[in-house]
Amino acid sequence: MHKNIKSNLRILKYPIINIKGKAATCLGRNQYTFIVDRQVDKRSIKTIFENLYSVKVTKINTITLPRKKVRRNKFIGWKPQYKKVIISLSKQDSVKLLAKLTQE
């Protein structure tokens, strides 16, 4: 059981908690934003999120962002590419993100 939860947390890497994300949650849209593994599809994200948090997912939007160029003094490199997911829940469900993440 613990192995399955840890592998699910590797797929759902971490939530994005910023002003825009808090506004989406507080304004009644009930949406949460996560960074996920790039190879995961919407169906598996939905099942993992529903099993992990015991909620009903109504909609998932995915965005694969391009990699960005980074310059540190005279060195030029690239930031890694990542996939962002916006998960919409049904109106009666909610997730306490910080409480769930600090338990693991």
Ordered by start, the domain boundaries in the chain are: 2-94
Spatial contact of 87 and 32, defined as CB atoms under 8 Å apart: yes
Give residue-wise pLDDT tens across range 51-92. 888 899 999 999 998 989 999 999 999 988 889 999 999 888
* Predicted TM-score of the model (pTM): 0.73
Cα(56)–Cα(13) distance, rounded to whole angstroms?
Answer: 20
Displacement of CA 91 from its chain's centroid (Å): 19
Query: Looking at the chain, how many residues does it have?
Result: 104
**CATH level 2 (architecture), domain 2-94:** 2-Layer Sandwich (3.30)
pLDDT tens for each residue of 7-47:
666 778 778 877 766 666 555 678 888 889 888 899 999 99
